[in-house]
Chain A
Amino acid sequence: MESLKDKVAIVGMGCTPFGEFWDKDPVDLIVDASYEAFEDAGVEPKDIQAAWVGYTSADTAMTGIILASALQLQFIPVTRVENACGTGAETIRGAALGLASKAYDLVLAVGWDKLKDAGFGGIGQAFPGKWHPVYGAAPEIGGAVARYALAATRYFSTYGLSPDEGKRLLAQISVKSHYNGARNPKAWLRRQITVEDVLNAPLIAWPLGLLDCCGVNDGASAAILCRTEDARSFRPDGDYITIKGVGIACGPGWGKERTNYSFTTWEETEAAARQVYDMAGIKNPRKELSMAEVHDCFSIAELIAAESLGICEKGRAKEDIQSGAWEQGGEIPINISGGLKSFGHPAGASGGREVYEFYKQFQGKAEDSSRQLKDVRLGLAHNQGGHPGNFVCGITVVGEP
């Protein structure tokens, strides 16, 4: 097995603002993100030899044709991928494999979702282990919150936090993400909040309240990739990044039904992290990573993800949160972009959006200089789809060439 490390470069990226775009359709989102990437890389749509497109909502489009028709790509291979919230990572992985095989020289990876045409908040369906009319407490909207909330309850119980202490700890994660998001022009919810705001927000699924949850919305992200040896021909300035590792871990599911499932560790995240750390040669992620964009669909998701990624020891998130280790200027900034919490989560677009955050930070082009990190060398973008016990996790590690 060969590592993909440094074989593939990202030479152009684009990302729409994320939000509730009542006046934009999927084509608008795809065109806006992709043309930003084309212009960034100095290429044209006709230069693209193959493309990967990822989105999760089956109601808004079908197949890879949506990408070809939006960009008027002319009869090239377009592969639609869907791995829930790991979809964005999956598009980049597909593109990287296409390049590493030398089947193509210049490819496009686009992730998008248009979830606000549905008529309700939240995601459409959150199925239990398998589609079933009555088992799994009935698949339905709101299920994602309630299922993650199972992990929050168990985390509190396992580590001896009272519900009040637990909620207060989780609140600090949302406060931190909103602080970051307030400074990011592309974020959706750009306002700072306080711990009291989080604690006083309406309950969605106890113990999680409204401000423990990210919203779903609309957005798209795009990346143009080539093999690293060709990167300078697109970016003579050398301002490109390379892929250090890609990992996807599909869990065997049935965690909620397995007596040895703890609810306090994301097993799929651990597995995908092992894949990328092996590929990238990372021994100590906390020390080596300059930043991590971590799937924070819910506050508890970020907390357990940080532990499962090995950024923090199991059960020790409390110390990191209280010491500010994950904040800007802390030991390892987590979700410096503002995270899903501030951006919202058009599921297919988030993975690429996280890589975009590293790309801009690496280039020193964070849109607001107050949030520009220093000495950015290695970053991790993490997403997991599904629900505790039943995840697919996608991780992309990128860095300086």
Chain B
Amino acid sequence: MVGVVSYGAYIPIYRLSREAIGSMWVKEVGKGEKAVANADEDSLTMGVEAVLDCLNGADRRRVDALYFATASPPYVEKQSASIIRAAADLREDILTMDIGHSLRGAGCAMRAAMDAVRAGSAKQALVASAECRVPAPNSDFEANFGDGAAAFLIGDSDVAAVVEASYHVSSEFVDVWKKPEDTYMQTWEDRFIRDEGYLKILPQAVSALLKKQGMNPKEITKAAFYGPDARTHAAMARAMGLDAKTQVQSALFDSVGNTGTALAPMTLVSALEEAKAGDTLLYATYGDGADVFLLRVTEQIEKVRDRRGIKRHLASKLMLPSYGKYVELRDLMEWEQGRRPARRSSLPVIWREREHLFPLYGQKCRSCQNIQYPRQRVCIYCQAKDNFELVRLSDKQGKVFTFSMDQRAMEVVLPKVFTVVDLDGGGRFYSVMTDRDTSNIAVGMKVEMTFRRQLEGSGLHNYFWRVRPVRC
């Protein structure tokens, strides 16, 4: 019985109210707010967050594959999944794969993971999806798009939601597209896309699967599926014969926005958070066709409750004070030329430090037991040479020992909060604090690690761990 063993999700802490967007452009853009990735986040880092939420308590060594679906990868050439694997400290001898080019990627990845488990090539496979698409300013997409991520662990034991059946359809239908040289997404007249695309392709695939299973739409407890916006989403539900009030899991358009590839997965996480054993869940992704899954929730669901998932992440937020701050986070303007030396990076340094940078391994001195970071040859406490064992620090929390707030650092979100943290279990970590409210930072504050884009230098995204106040 293959199915979802665990689930996790991530919503960035920043939200932009649609009122702020509307007042920028002097127009009505609807209600609610959207989730906005911090300047040091992208689809890859959000993927790491969702994967770690999903793996909460799981044995990371048992994961045999990682599929990462996004339409907004940080690199066009260069895999994201391999960096996510390293940051999540999964084994090196596993299959990693990026699935892109369509918002449907998460469904395709789910199917591929199920097949791998069924075929025995993987005992457990992770399916992660994340989106951080940059919509054109003053477009309909701008008010609509949000950022977020979700992840599922697929396996055939301890299954919390068994995938009873799936149905896949491929379509050459074009709705939203973006060529490599395009800055922003393009689309056709919305009425055509809605009538021929959203209202037909996915509902027809759902009907086909239900028919194959000899089921009636009424038997579905909750449906988690892609829709481009709240109105079309509701219309799609009606086209599937679902009762919008009772059978449709909210896709969080008002609070998170359309998270593209991650939208249906995040909606499924929402559904799993509320699901009871025996529930039947419909899960469907859309784009260039559709992937539809029927899941039956088992008693095991009660054992995978302790997740930040959607609910806890949703409740933990910082409002962006203005549209201007959003412009800054998403780098939507050409800025004043910096007078400072350009930042740089070095691939050989990153390569030889990979064990310490990505899964954040520090070392514990076998002579004096002190944990230290970064890597040393001679212990900084007792001066013993080359006598260390590795200790993973990325899953540690700690307390702020001291901090400062630099107003003039080369950083998008100022002030840059330099932070010295005493880690629970030993060791001290010197880092930058992100996702913080500067009026609340204090010595002694509890913080945790988060994988971020530390800087752009030498043409590379340079990822590293920062700290943040314990999120939720």
Contact = CB atoms under 8 A, between A and B. Distances in A.
Is B a genuine binding partner of A? yes
A134 interface: yes
B210 interface: no
Contacts of A46: none
A136 B427 CA distance: 15
Given A120-B340, A259-B422, A142 B408 contact: yes
Given A120-B340, A133-B346, A138-B343, A157 B432 contact: no
A142 B340 CA distance: 10
Interface in A332-347: none
A245 to B, nearest CB: 27
B136 interface: no
A141 interface: yes
B404 A141 contact: no
B436 interface: no
A205 B340 contact: no
Given A142-B409, A145-B406, A133 B341 contact: no
Report the interface size class on chain A: 35 or more
Interface in A97-139: 119-120, 122, 124-125, 128-138
Interface string B5-35: 0000000000000000000000000000000
Interface stretch (A73-81, A147-155, A168-176): A147-155
Contacts of B422: 259
B173 interface: no
A202 B408 CA distance: 11
A138 B415 CA distance: 14
Given A134-B350, A150-B418, A206 B407 contact: yes
Contact of B408 (A124, A147, A204): A204
Interface in B238-289: none
A328 B336 CA distance: 46
Q: Which of B381, B430, B458 has the most CB of A within 10 A?
A: B430
Interface of B: 339-341, 343-346, 349-350, 353, 357, 370, 372-374, 376, 380-381, 401-410, 415-416, 418, 420, 422, 426-432, 443, 454-455, 457-458, 462-464
Contact of B463 (A120, A134, A153, A261): A134
Nearest to A140: B410
B404 A150 contact: yes
Complex A-B, nearest 4 residue pairs according to Cβ-Cβ distance, in ascending order: A149-B404, A154-B402, A146-B406, A206-B405
A132 B339 contact: no
A256 interface: yes
A61 interface: no
Nearest to B431: A137
A252 interface: yes
Contacts of B430: 128, 136-137, 256-257
A60 B87 CA distance: 41
14 contacts: A133-B344, A134-B357, A134-B454, A134-B463, A135-B374, A137-B431, A137-B432, A145-B406, A147-B418, A149-B406, A150-B418, A204-B407, A205-B408, A257-B430
Among B339, B349, B403, B407, the most chain A Cβ lie within 10 Å of the Cβ of B407
Nearest to A137: B432
A155 B219 CA distance: 65
A335 to B, nearest CB: 23
B345 A134 contact: yes
A353 to B, nearest CB: 26
A125 B381 CA distance: 27
A133 B409 contact: no
Contacts of B429: 257
Contact of A205 (B345, B404, B432): B404
Given A135-B464, A137-B416, A137-B432, A258 B380 contact: yes
Interface in A28-83: none
